[in-house]
Amino acid sequence: MARTRSARSEERRADILRAALEVIAERGYRGASLGAVAERVGLTQQGLLHYFPTKEALLVAVLKERDQWDTGGLRTSADGWRLELLASLVEYNAMRPGIVQTFSALLGESVTDGHPARPFFTRRYAQVREEMAGVLRAEFGDRLPGGLTPERAAPLLVAVMDGLQYQWLLDPDSVDMAAAFHDFVALLGSTDDTDGKDAS
């Protein structure tokens, strides 16, 4: 019986997180209310507070859950990320614009002082840069073909992934996010062969 109650509680919690993601996508974090989320899952606001005591707690849970959805089946604890899996992730994101839109909107809002998501994104980007440096080192060794170290190239890789999402969200008919990322990966593996050549 205890396991049944626990399973029901986890199921309801998952429903709340999905509803919160939808409401934030529609209204933004500041425009989203606990009451709106509660109504969407058939709870009172007080009932919702049983699962998430504050709006900030719900937001952080949404962001963590989004990262779980993001990496589901694509990353293993043994192998970590590889470049081809990152390309698969970009293709996967192109099939779920609502989640990408919510994440991007929250990322944009989080740069303001005092935003509750700012600590989450600050920690997340530090971790992601470290992971991407590991990806690049596994692929290219201690130096990329163009001469950069994995640590110097990692922020560029992260910036391309997130920057492509913004461009794609604004103009999906003009920006092929997956193809553009494949092009960037090709650039990472290219060398600057102009050294010592006549530029004329």
For 144-196, what is each residue's pLDDT tens digit?
Answer: 999 999 999 999 999 999 999 999 999 999 999 999 999 999 998 887 654 44
Confidence class of residue 80 from pLDDT cuts 50, 70 and 90? Answer: low
Say yes or no to pLDDT of 64 above 80: yes
CA-to-CA distance for 48 and 34, rounded, in angstroms?
Answer: 8
Phi first, then psi, for residue 80 (nearest 5°) are: 70, -160
Q: How far is CA 40 from CA 14, 22, 23, 29, 101, in A?
A: 13, 9, 9, 16, 20
pLDDT-derived band at 85, boundaries 50, 70, 90: confident
The SS3 assignment for 28 reads helix
pLDDT digits (tens, 9 = 90+) for 90-142: 888 888 787 788 888 888 888 988 888 899 999 999 999 999 999 999 999 99
For the entire predicted model, the pTM comes to: 0.74
Residues in the chain: 200
